[in-house]
Amino acid sequence: MILHGYYRSSASYRVRIALNLKGLTASHVPHHLRKNEHKASDYLALNPQGFLPALVTDDGRVLIQSLAIIEWLNDTHPEPALLPEDPFERAQIRAFALAIACDIHPVQNLSVLQRLKREGLPQDRIDFWARDVIEKGLDACEILARPDTPFVSGDTPSLADICLIPQLYNARRYEADVARWPRLTAIEARANALKAFADALPEKQPDAEP
Amino acid sequence: MILHGYYRSSASYRVRIALNLKGLTASHVPHHLRKNEHKASDYLALNPQGFLPALVTDDGRVLIQSLAIIEWLNDTHPEPALLPEDPFERAQIRAFALAIACDIHPVQNLSVLQRLKREGLPQDRIDFWARDVIEKGLDACEILARPDTPFVSGDTPSLADICLIPQLYNARRYEADVARWPRLTAIEARANALKAFADALPEKQPDAEP
């Protein structure tokens, strides 16, 4: 498999964690977001959205959208399960993942912040925007995470944890007040103690910059 | 079941379509978005995100996030299927749905537009923001939709169509150039000819305003 990604792209980071949890390997092809490499015509031919990541399967088919890729990995490589069997529990984990993947990350990602800059917002208001979206979003996640399990909703990492850890990474990058999320940061510490999460960290990737 | 929603909320609209396709009924409890009724403490107790919709099941459990709710409806009421059996095809449909639910809708929804207003953007730039996000996003969807099937990716409506139709509704509301999407608007015409989609239209809801 080939993973088209970028070391600091949250969505690529999610897929790296999922691949590691499943014990799968992929060749990583980096596309530098700030140099607009994801808008090059050869990449747009793979993904008309021009967003990262895209996964090319062993038989040459292309999948886009990190959550769809992770569900596909889970459907085709069931162990270890990233979603529980029970439909209600599965829906709760998907809801947690979507609360991040729909309502936090897309509103604070680079393309929106660049759009704000083009609209003339000063840098301090752009930084506030990113931090405020992350803080309000993760405040809800702190309530949604189960209080009685080591991970977001169980004894092992799920799709919810796969979305949470990259979002917390972004929270620190934008200097959000992480102390307000004792439950989420405890989950983060447990997750990052696992090799699957540690190896997926942005700074561990070959395209990482100092 | 009880669906907490709002007639013009895209995410509520998606769940209404899914319920109708499954032949299920729910009591509708409206929360007026512009009057901030979704930020009232009794609703926040149901959904800490303070976003619509939320679905309360017959046994009183609460589900949030439209895509998680629809997957749950599909898991618990398998017919008619809103996702195909094949994992790759399923991933493609989820990717199409997520391209809208993550990358278009959250960046043009009311809460972001209100945020732009608070930052002092003039109304014409806010209107441009919404329209531009929708146009660029649906341009990609026009390429992602299959050219050889009556719906986005098959002979019957799927999760992809359920996300597409409310997004096209928003596109018209923000006066986007819908003529650039001949494939998507042909799917829209086919979908809205079905009772499940027609009955879910915002203007058909009891809380609709003139």
Report the pLDDT value the prediction gives residue A16, as an integer from 0 to 100.
Answer: 98
pLDDT band at residue B198 under the 50/70/90 scheme? very high
Report the candidate in B73, B50, B59, B67 with the shortest Cα–Cα distance to residue B4: B50
Report the candidate in B209, B203, B210 with the shortest Cα–Cα distance to residue B16: B203
For residue A13 the two structure tokens come to 């980071």
Of the CA atoms within 13 Å of residue B209, those in its CB half-sphere come to 8
For A88, name the nearest residue in chain B, comparing CA atoms only: B72
Q: Most B CBs within 10 Å: which of A93, A103, A110, A125, as the mutation test of the B interface?
A: A103
Instruction: Give the nearest partner residue to A144 out of B48, B61, B144, using CB atoms.
Output: B48
Q: How many CB pairs lie under 8 A apart between chains A and B?
A: 117
For B64, name the nearest residue in chain A, comparing CA atoms only: A95
Which chain B residues are Cβ-neighbours of A99 within 8 angstroms?
49, 64-65
- State pTM to two decimals: 0.97
Report the candidate in A98, A80, A119, A120 with the shortest Cα–Cα distance to residue A14: A98
ipTM above 0.90 for this complex: yes
Which helix (H) or strand (E) is B87 found in, with range? helix B87-101
Distance from CA of A21 to the nearest CA of B (A): 19
Q: What is the dihedral of CA B189, B192, B195, B201, to 10 degrees?
A: -170
Instruction: Please indicate whether, in this complex, the C-beta atoms of A95 and B71 are within 8 angstroms of each other.
Output: no
Which helix (H) or strand (E) is B64 found in, with range? strand B62-64
For residue A83 the two structure tokens come to 């979603």
Which tens digits make up the pLDDT trace of A73-122?
999 999 999 999 999 999 999 999 999 999 999 999 999 999 999 999 99
Instruction: Please indicate whether, in this complex, the C-beta atoms of A98 and B94 are within 8 angstroms of each other.
Output: no
Which tens digits make up the pLDDT trace of A182-203?
999 999 999 999 999 999 999 9
Instruction: Give the nearest partner residue to A91 out of B69, B88, B90, using CB atoms.
Output: B69
Name the DSSP letter for residue A209.
-
Task: Give CA B45 to chain center in angstroms.
Answer: 23
For the cut 90, the answer to whether the pLDDT of residue B210 exceeds it is no
What are the DSSP calls for A25-42, one per residue? Answer: --EEEE--TTTTGGGSHH
| Per-position b or e across B157-172, b if 16+ CB within 10 A of its CB | bbbbbbbbbbbbbbbe
Instruction: Please indicate whether, in this complex, the C-beta atoms of B140 and A49 are within 8 angstroms of each other.
Output: yes
Which chain A residues are Cβ-neighbours of B125 within 8 angstroms?
119
CA distance linking residue A88 with residue B166, whole number of Å: 25
Instruction: Identify the residue with better confidence: A35 or B164.
Output: B164
For the cut 90, the answer to whether the pLDDT of residue A72 exceeds it is yes
Instruction: Give the nearest partner residue to B106 out of A65, A87, A107, using CB atoms.
Output: A107
- Rounded to whole angstroms, what are the CA distances from B138 to A131, A145, B77, B128, B171? 28, 33, 30, 15, 9
Is residue B12 within 8 Å of B37, Cβ to Cβ? Answer: no
Report the candidate in B30, B179, B164 with the shortest Cα–Cα distance to residue B93: B164
Distance from CA of B80 to the nearest CA of A (A): 17
Is residue B151 within 8 Å of B158, Cβ to Cβ? Answer: yes
For the cut 80, the answer to whether the pLDDT of residue B38 exceeds it is no
